[in-house]
Structures are given as C-alpha cells and as structure tokens.
A and B are shown apart, each in its own frame.
Chain A
Amino acid sequence: MNKTALTVRGLVSRREHAVILDRIDLAFDTGQVTAIVGPNGAGKTTLLRHLAGLDAPAAGRVELRGEPLASLAPALRALSIAYLPQAASAYWPLRAQDLVALGRLPHGANLSRPLRTQDAQAIQRALERVDGTGLAHRPIDTMSQGERARMMMARALATEAAIFLADEPVASLDPAYALESMSILRAEAARGACVIVVLHDLGLAARFADRIVVLANRKVAADGPPAVALAAGVIEAAYGVTFRHVTVDGVPQPVAWEKQR
C-alpha cells in the first residue's frame, strides 16, 4: 500500500523578484519513482531543493508525512530525506569509504571515532548496491567521473532514508553508468522509498519512472504515467520543440526533432 510521503501545497518560490515556481501542488508516494522533467530554467532544481527543505518557500509549504518541513529539526529532516545534488563533488580527496560514511551522519555517526556496527553495515550495503566494494579504500580523486558519481550515490543511499531526492544523477554519465544508476533508483523504490529524480533524458524517464511531472513556465504542465505526461501536445508545448514518437517494447521514447517556429 503506497502512502504519501511528501506533499507540496501552493508552493511559490521567488529569487530576488523573479517567480521561479508559481503555486505548485503535488503529492509524492512511497514505493514510486517520480521523474521531474522540463526545459532548462523551468524550476526543476528549485522544486527539488524545496522538497529537501533547503530553500524556504515565499508562500505555501512542503509537508513531510503531514508535518511542515520548515518546522522540522534539521536532524530529523536529515534522517527522512536523502539529497543528492547535481554534479555532486567533494572538496577533499576523501577515501570512498569515508565519503559514503558521511551518509550516516544523520544517524549520529562520527568519522573520527570507530564506526558502530549498524553504520558499518549500512555503508557496506550502499557500496554493494553501486557495485563499489572494490573501490572502498580508494581516494575519490583517483577515480573516473563515473566511479565518483557512483560513490556520491552510495553516500546518499547509506542514509537509508524514506525519501530519496536526486538532481540529474545521470548527467555526464555514459549509457552503462546511466542505466545502472536508474536501476539503483528503481531498487530504492522497491525497498519502499519515495524516489524523486530530476532528469533531462525523457527516454530514461519514460523507462524507469512510474510517474512523470513536467514543469514548464513555473507551473506543472503535466503529471501522470509516462504515456500521459509525455504525450505529444504536452511536451511539444513545454519544450518548444517537435518530437518524433517511437515506442520501444511498449515504452514511449520521444525524440526531440526540430525547433518549433
């Protein structure tokens, strides 16, 4: 039985005087992967930041299981919501194992002390899920971009939070890593998490998401299963581009074709 994990009510987001998001209403369920798509500047990253509790709304609110996110203590919020930012990176060449261990901070872990068993096990599980146990002792500056992105994902997975937010986790990854990352997000939903992922690749969104939210012009332009949300009329208006519609194994794979005049 899926339950609502996050609810967005009348969310308005402003930066300086510009309105980035205008009265958004959405609800996100556990056990589902929701993809947020839309053209550049549509407010996808901003929406995700609000869902993570990192930005304060100008109006409206985000609720975590009915509680306003803004009034939640940072420590409690961190236990419930894992957040993987766009182009995640680290400022120091940490060892992969220490990097992933940062995901246990919300559980009270301290890297300067010996790890508790439950933290060590969670770190191990996270590394296994990204197929990275062999990299555990490597400093991340010696890794390829793809390997590093996997370690960053493992860091977010290690929290084992009920809600997993990822901002373009597959940008700049080759197809093999991209497919693998998406499978990991699916597995996270199968575990019961509410997974919300910002994506640019509509084909990947259609294949791996249960539901797609199309943002355009500061509003929700469409919201539903891939076949509905990626219908020709919706995405052509949202992106200002004509699409060719191909269906592979029953999954719609819209291909951007020509800029609309």
Chain B
Amino acid sequence: MNRWLLLLVAALYLLSLAVGPAWWPWRLGNEVGWAIVWELRLPRATLGLLIGGVLGLSGAVLQGWLRNPLAEPGVIGVSACAGFAAVCAFYSGLAAAFALALPLAGITGAAVAVALLMGAVRSGTGTVSLLLMGVAINAIAAALISLVLALSPNPFAYQEISLWLAGSIVDRDLHYLAMAAPFMMLGAAMVLGAGRWLDALSLGEDTARSLGADTRSLGLRFTLGVGLMVGAATSVAGVIGFVGLIAPHLVRAKVGFRPGATLVPSMLVGAALVLGADVVVRLLPTASELQLGVFTSLVGAPFLVRAVRKAHAAWLAT
C-alpha cells in the first residue's frame, strides 16, 4: 500500500508545482517561468507535502495514544492552541524581532494543549471527556485570540488574522519553509519509532506497562513530537483541520487496526489530502481563492459526523 501512496503523493506534488494562474510554468522556459517555480510553487508544494504529512501522522499518533478514533489536532484544540500562541508571538512583536519565535510559540501552544488533553483522558471517561476537553480548549483559544486582537493597535489585525487562521499555504516563500520544516521533521522522527508502543497501548495503559512500555517517557515523547509537528505547521499555515482525522480512518482497516502500522500510511495520505486540496482550491471558480483550511473542514466535518456515529454504534460506546 505504501508504494502506491508514495506514487500518488509524488504525482500530486508535481501537479501542485504545475497548477495555478500560469500552468506548467517551466514550459515558459525563461527566467519568469523558473522564478514562479522556485519562489512560489516549490515552497507552496513542499509546505503542502510536509504539513499534510505531519497532520496525518499527528492524527494517527493522537488516536493511537489516546485510544480514540476521534482524536485530531484540529478537533480537540491542539491547532487552536498553537494558533493562539502564534498570534501572541505575532502581535507582541516577538516574531518580528526574532524569526524563530513564530514556530517556537506555535510548538509551545500545541504541546500545552496535548498535555492538558492527556490529563483529561487519564482522569476521565474516554471519548466524552476527550471531546469535552477539546471543545473547552478550542473555545478558550478562540476567546483568547479575540482578546489579543482587541488589544492590538493594528485596525486590520482582525481581518488579517481570521484569514490566516482559516488555513492557507498561499504566498509562503522559502523563508517560511526553512523556518518550519526542521521542526516538523524532528517531530515526525520522534514519533515514527514508537509504533510498537502504540500497538501495546491498544490494551490500555496498565497492560502496556506490563509489556514493558515506559508510559511516562512515551507521554513526553508524544507530547513533544505532536507539539513540534502541529505547532510548526500551524505557525506557518494556520489551522488546517480534519486531515488528522480522515487520514488514519482511510488506512486503519487496511492495516488490521494496528495503531503502529497506521503511522506511515497516515502520513502519506495526509500529504496527499493537503496537496490535493491545495490544487483543488486553485481550480475552484471562486472570486478569491478559497482558504485551504475552509476546504478541508467542508470535506472533513461530514467525516467526523460519520466517525462519531460509528463509534457510538458499535465498538467504542464509552
């Protein structure tokens, strides 16, 4: 399966380089054509590839770790928290003074949200407490963002930020790519090796520990890993929801529901989804280009509805 997914991702990546106001820009054969490729399309396609990959992977990690098919960075507030922290870095002037402040703030916000969620899952009752905690974190983050914007002296702040938060990878140059990519790759490297312990966690935390899982250090590893991935992704692209929900769902049955085996395919499907969605928003005949995050929500929210129904119908009625 991974080989076919890899081919699909490669094809969509090439398509993302090709599609836009100027189609197949390299065929212009001149300096302008190559400038479009290098300075506009390449960063956009590469960000789509990386962000989609880490969002799909984060979804798979969160779902395996929290043992819940509804866990997703956007739905349970991880992206919103990263967004809030990034907004703070932006409007405090920190981001202007120090370039890495933006991704670092995003990473901190995401890691805090993951840690809060883990606490809720440990002390609570499964799906209900996870989703309620997610609702709470989303609400708090949205309220705090509004507060920061109200305090901002910039009259255009609100419009600027709502547009940015809606999620997009338009006009992100190589500078953004260089800023976020190392953190996303580090986060992915941290979680990709932990698949066998996600498998062990299918039996609950106690049994996983009896099988040799060091759940405390694993918790730290997943919190940091997901924080790095979602935080860095959100700080350059805003909130792109539902990718982390859809990707693991599409692959889970094909790998026999083993959480560890969903990691790599979820990463590839996530990359394909974001690359594909980012090509589609360029082709849609809307007056101004539709935000990528808005598009993934339009497509993804019905998926959540279906997943909730299924979860309550059969296996996970907790």
List A residues at the B interface (Cβ < 8 Å).
49, 52-54, 74-75, 77-79, 81-83, 85, 88-95, 98-99, 102-103, 105-106, 109-112, 139, 141, 155, 159
Contacts and interface: CB of A to CB of B under 8 A. Distances in A.
Contacts of B214: 74
B173 interface: no
12 contacts: A74-B209, A74-B213, A78-B212, A81-B210, A83-B207, A92-B67, A92-B252, A92-B257, A102-B202, A105-B200, A105-B212, A110-B195
A77 B212 contact: yes
B207 A85 contact: yes
Interface centre among A92, A103, A141 (most CB of B within 10 A): A92
Contacts of B259: 92
Contacts of B178: none
Interface centre among A79, A94, A141 (most CB of B within 10 A): A94
Given A92-B259, A159-B211, 20 more contacts: A53-B210, A54-B206, A85-B206, A85-B207, A90-B202, A91-B201, A91-B203, A91-B204, A92-B257, A92-B258, A92-B315, A93-B315, A95-B256, A102-B203, A105-B196, A110-B260, A111-B260, A112-B199, A112-B258, A141-B314
A106 B209 CA distance: 10
A49 to B, nearest CB: 8
Contacts of A78: 210-212
Contacts of A139: 256-257
A166 to B, nearest CB: 12
Interface centre among A53, A91, A139 (most CB of B within 10 A): A91
B172 to A, nearest CB: 33
A111 B196 contact: yes
A94 B204 CA distance: 13
B196 A90 contact: no
B216 to A, nearest CB: 10
A92 B196 CA distance: 14
A54 B210 contact: yes
B28 interface: no
Interface string B74-115: 000000000000000000000000000000000000000000
B211 A106 contact: yes
B212 A112 contact: no
Interface of B: 67-68, 195-196, 199-204, 206-207, 209-214, 252, 256-261, 314-316
Contacts of B314: 141
Contacts of A77: 212
A106 B210 CA distance: 9
Contacts of A89: 203-204
B195 A102 contact: no
A143 to B, nearest CB: 13
Contacts of B68: 91
A88 B256 contact: no
Contacts of B257: 92-95, 139
Interface centre among B199, B201, B204 (most CB of A within 10 A): B199
A105 B207 CA distance: 11
A13 to B, nearest CB: 15
Contacts of B207: 83, 85, 88
State the 5 A-B residue pairs at the shortest beta-carbon distance, nearest first: A78-B212, A83-B210, A91-B67, A92-B257, A75-B212
